[in-house]
Amino acid sequence: MSGSQYRIVQRPRRLRRTAAIRELVAETRLHPADLIEPMFVVEGLDAPREIGSMPGVRQHTRASLQRAVHEAADAGVGAVMLFGTPAERDPMGSQAWNPDGVLANAVRWALEAEPQLPVIADVCLDEFTDHGHCGVLDADGEVDNDATLPLYARMSVTLAEAGATMLGPSGMMDGQIGVIREALDGAGFTGTALMAYSAKYASGFFGPFREAVDCRLTGDRRAYQQDPANAVEGLREIELDLAQGADIVMVKPALPYLDVLAKAVRIANVPVAAYVVSGEYAMIELAARAGAIDRERCIMEALTGVKRAGASMIVTYWATEAARRLAR
Ligand code: PBG
């Protein structure tokens, strides 16, 4: 090192000099077990199908789901999260509580492939209703909160019966966590955990998900999902879900809401999850394909940022890939 004419006592660059030193002083570490891989299963699909707006993510058949679940487990991911698309939709979303429906079957198939790997099943009606909303509609065409709750309860018991380790209620109906908890407990499923999508925002970043589950929504979800302008409201939702029995709370999407995540971690005495959603995935994938950014570097940077903001676990379509990279 060269001498200096300056007296600079504090030199932060000393701890950045080599990769080994940087590794030693890293404040944040991603671990494969913190990562949760979402997977889409489509009823009646002949062969897995790539989702155009989410390059690298596929709609699964039974066989391709089971392969993907094996790969996730081999990579050491913490859990898989399942979404189902039924062959038939109706205004109530009744396939959601069919014990032989696509999502209940997907839960069984995942557990058959990897009995030890936790399986989280999405609890929401948007994949199952013909109008694409997360609940049933009233006479005015608005999502009817209280009429939706018993349907979530039925769906939850069906998925618990199929063996789901955990349920992820994502529909943003008021009171949903309490009603689902009571239904599960009443049916004897006191051990089925609830990962509450507490601070879920009405986000444009859910765009590609609609293609992933063939959702036919017209209009938007602003009357039940949160306004992006509000952080205090997100904290209130977390408190409400904790009071109703949530075991884990979530902030979603992740990157535009890291401030909400950091605040949530301070008030929640349970693990806080963050969901890096379909549009966040697409942004990096498509920018990388256009040659604008270094794909792998930006993926790991984004996931590290979410962890640094305080997430205990991250739901991400890069979970298996990132877990493999972390392991080597
Ligand atoms: C609702 C649900 C959605 C997502 C997860 N659960 C769609 C929505 O609320 O509009 C989005 C996930 C993503 O964009 O990756 N079932």
In the reported structure, the alpha carbon of residue 213 is separated from the centroid of ligand 1 by a whole-number distance in angstroms of 9
Asked whether 216 and 209 are in contact (CB, 8 A), the reply is: no
Asked if residue 2 has pLDDT above 80, the reply is: no
ipTM of the complex: 0.96
Q: What is the mean pLDDT of residues 284-306?
A: 98
Residue 59 lies in a domain: yes
Asked if residue 1 has pLDDT above 70, the reply is: no
Catalytic residue among 58, 60, 62, 252: 252
Residue 174 lies in a domain: yes
Q: Which among 221, 216, 229 has a CA at the least distance from the CA of 93?
A: 216
In the reported structure, the alpha carbon of residue 317 is separated from the centroid of ligand 1 by a whole-number distance in angstroms of 13
pTM of the model: 0.97
Residue 4 lies in a domain: no
Q: Which domain holds residue 154?
A: 29-327
Q: CA 245, CA 176: separation in Å to the nearest integer?
A: 10
CA dihedral in degrees (47, 39, 142, 153; nearest 10)?
110
pLDDT of the residue at 327: 87
pLDDT of the residue at 218: 83
Asked whether 143 and 137 are in contact (CB, 8 A), the reply is: yes
pLDDT of the residue at 119: 98
Residue 249 lies in a domain: yes
223-237 pLDDT, tens per residue?
A: 999 999 999 999 999
Buried-exposed string 27-61: b where 16+ CB fall within 10 A, e elsewhere: eeebebebbbbbbbbbbebeebeebebbeebbbbb
CATH code for position 104: 3.20.20.70
pLDDT of the residue at 23: 96
The verdict on whether 307 is a catalytic residue reads no
For the chain, how many structural domains are there in total? 1
Tokens of 283: 């942004």
Residue 197 lies in a domain: yes
47-86 pLDDT, tens per residue?
A: 999 999 999 999 999 999 999 999 999 999 999 999 999 9
Residue 88 lies in a domain: yes
Residue 303 lies in a domain: yes
The verdict on whether 263 is a catalytic residue reads no
Residue 1 lies in a domain: no
Establish whether residue 59 lines the binding site of ligand 1, counting it when its CB lies within 6 angstroms of any ligand atom. no
